[in-house]
Amino acid sequence: MTEMFVYKESRNDGTRLPEMSFTITDEQGNPVLLYYNEADHTYYYESNGDYCVMDKSLSDQRCCEVVTDAMGTSHIAGLPYGQYTITEIVAPFGYLIDSDPLKITIDVHSAGENTPQITMLDSKIVPPTTQTGEKLPKEIIIMALCLIGSALTIELIRIERKKYDIITKEKLS
């Protein structure tokens, strides 16, 4: 079975970062449907089905979004051979999102010691300060507030998307 590991680390000090969310798309740009198995903390490729849904009533959850665990690690298993794109969609708290998608190829050589192990790096958000201790300009304060507002908006969109996925699942049942 093919597998890969995705790690999230701080670009600043190499610390592993939990709660980073990303998607995996195939060569045609379609989201890859995965099952999350809570028992072994592994995301498994789902070959039947053409939609993504989080179903809280199942012990295995179907999803298109992968989240790193408390150790900053995600384990994905069973992907068929092909080229995939990994795109970060939610950065860990206090970090900037990595906007550069990563390409990975899974092939016959992607096993054992050649198992793909991808490390994605995020930079810590560092609040702006002046070297002389002067009051920060209004523009910098406004920029910081805009960043906070953007982060909150992204989180609200993510919550609403999960609600929509559950409603969609119920309608399909």
Q: What is the pLDDT of residues 37-72, one digit of tens each?
A: 888 888 888 765 444 444 444 444 556 789 899 999
**In the chain, where the domains are located:** 3-124
Superfamily of domain 3-124, CATH level 4: Immunoglobulins (2.60.40.10)
Question: In this predicted structure, what is the pLDDT of residue 136?
Answer: 66
Give the Cα separation of 26 and 85 in Å (integer).
7
How much is the average pLDDT of 93-106? 90
Contact criterion met (CB below 8 Å) for 158 and 22? no
> What does pTM read for this prediction?
0.66
- Token pair of 63, please? 């999803």
Helix (H, G, I), strand (E, B) or coil at 113: helix
Going by the DSSP 8-state scheme, the letter that residue 36 receives in this structure is E
